[in-house]
Amino acid sequence: MKQVEKIIETESLAASNQVRHVDRWLSEVSAGKSTMDYDTWLECHLSEIVPFGQAVWYRQGRVTFRLEHGAVYEVSSPAKGVRRFRCLLDGTLPLIAFVGTRHHSPWLTIPNLFTLAELKSLNRIG
């Protein structure tokens, strides 16, 4: 019998652990244990917990979608155009950072970040 993967409602996702991660990173930097910038440190830290390629299924409204740890995706909408983002998983909490501009955007959580139309256009590109 095929095992059904759990689908997580985006509205049920807890607040991000970003503050906890930032505090740990700052502590390691001040103690001389790390010289990495925050984004590099976060990726290394989460990769110790979640293997690249691990995926989680989510649902927002009537749209079900899958996000994979370490993958790059794009979504599109008439209002915002095409946006690319990188996904890291903190357990089952997805952290999203938009990429493709001069600056890497901050890590955000997914609840209400995308419209249903954008989620329907979700495409893994890397």
| Structure confidence by residue, pLDDT tens digits, 48-100 | 888 888 999 999 999 999 999 999 999 999 988 999 999 999 888 898 889 88
The answer to whether residues 122 and 73 touch, using CB atoms and an 8 Å cutoff, is: yes
What pLDDT, in 10s, does the model give residues 18-46?
778 889 999 999 999 999 998 889 889 89
Q: What's the pLDDT score for residue 113? A: 85
Q: What's the pLDDT score for residue 1? A: 46
pTM for this model (two decimals): 0.83
Q: What's the pLDDT score for residue 123? A: 96
Q: Which residue has the tokens 């970003």?
A: 18
How far apart are the C-alpha atoms of 87 and 122, rounded to whole Å? 12
